[in-house]
Amino acid sequence: MIINFDNDENVILGFLSSREKEVFSDKVFPEFKSHVFIKTSGSTSSPKWVALSKHAILNSAEIVNKHIESSLRDSWFTVLPNNHMAGLAVYARAYLQNVKVQSYVGDRWQPHEFVKQLKNTQATLTSLVPTQVYDLVNQNLAAPESLRVVFVGGGHLSEKLYLKARVLKWPILPTYGMTECCSQIATAPLNSLKKMDLPELEVLPHCELNIDDNQRLIIHSTALYTAYINNENSDYNVIKRINDYFLSEDSVEILEKNNKTYLNILGRVSQLLKVSGILVNEYDLNKKWQSHSSGFLVLVPDERKGYTVVLVIEQVIDNEIKSQVNNFNKGLKKQEKVSAIYSISKIPLNSMSKLNKNELLKTLGFI
């Protein structure tokens, strides 16, 4: 167990220098009891720490366990970083069920090795990100028979990739969640595994959702974060949550069907930008692009248009990729069309395989 849920100690998950630990302990810890501090990825903003009460973490874990009908017959296998919410959540769920957690052994992700270890442990539950699912499908690796649920979150999972994974017997339940709500907010129903269609995301019962005038998601929950801790020149500032809700930067649709609530993710507010006066959804474009090739479509500043769409890849810009872009552009509005292709040696991703857009824009010279 990476943390002790039975005591009131505060725990930091993530690397700090000796000086930072000293300042953190002296300035931050006295304001909290029984909290876990997790560093956010900073994919679209500056990194910061999130303070989560152990009680909130366990509230979320209990709901997720019920959602998948977890029992003493289950066991977990984890390959996600323990200093991220998705990794920590595995241990919280296992703690409540009093079941085993076994961890991936290896310095880096290797799909074949993951499947081998998963088979050896006979684990029934695991969590992955879409990039890892892509790797498993790309190498035509089938799921072990013992596995009954694979949570997949941390990014968009395309319908095409989902269906390919299901053909290989991976029992995938797509999820939507965030650190500020101690992991999952909406998850595909367990009975969705009886079909082969990409399932909708069912809002979990510990969350009550609304939207504001800009379609941003408002979350009321028993699993909300307590505070943010910003780090400015190693001077930590505590910003406690003052409302009984959290206003996210995600643009969503909330749907009611058969007395259940479902969530449709439209993208980040920061991914809705105007190109020549017309709103373009970067999130939607990337969903479409995933069925064509690899890389990321990014809205970057443009002096004339305000913003423009570019493709960023790690491969050589050859005739094949140019042809793929031309074919892709044919079905788009002119404001959505890819205007340029950039090739860089390494696209900046965080440890959860999410694009770090700020770092990418710096690499491309836009900020």
For residue 44, is pLDDT > 60? no
Tell me which residue range forms the domain holding 224.
Answer: 11-268
Task: Give the containing element (helix H, strand E) for 29.
Answer: none
Q: Which residue among 222, 239, 268 closes a domain?
A: 268
Q: Are residues 174 and 284 in the same domain?
A: no
- Whether residue 242 sits in one domain with residue 304: no
Question: Facing residues of 128 across strands?
Answer: 152
- Residue 109 one-letter amino acid: W
pTM over 0.85: no
Q: Please give the torsion angle defined by the CA atoms of residues 106, 124, 38 and 350, in that order, rounded to the nearest 10 degrees.
A: 50
Residue 249 has pLDDT above 80, yes or no: yes
- The answer to whether residues 324 and 357 belong to one domain is yes
**105-114, 184-193, 225-234, 253-262: which has the minimum mean pLDDT?**
225-234
Q: What is the DSSP string of 145-210?
A: TT--EEEE-SS---HHHHHHHHHTT--EEEEEEEGGGTEEEEE--GGGGGS-SPPPEEEPTTEEEE
- pLDDT(108) > 80: yes
Indicate the number of domains in the chain.
2
pLDDT tens profile 122-142: 999 999 988 899 899 999 999
Q: Which residue has the higher pLDDT, 148 or 291?
A: 148
pLDDT category at 47 given cuts 50, 70, 90 is low
Give yes or no: residues 168 and 298 share one domain.
no
Greater model confidence, 13 or 225: 225
The distance from CA 165 to its chain's CA centroid, rounded to whole angstroms, is: 18
DSSP class of 143: P
Would 1 be classed as within a structural domain? no
The SS3 call for residue 58 is helix
The pLDDT of residue 45: 54
Q: What is the mean pLDDT of the chain?
A: 91
**Predicted pLDDT of residue 213:** 85
How far, in Å, CA of 93 to CA of 149, rounded? 14
* 223 pLDDT more than 90: yes
286 and 339 part of one domain:
yes
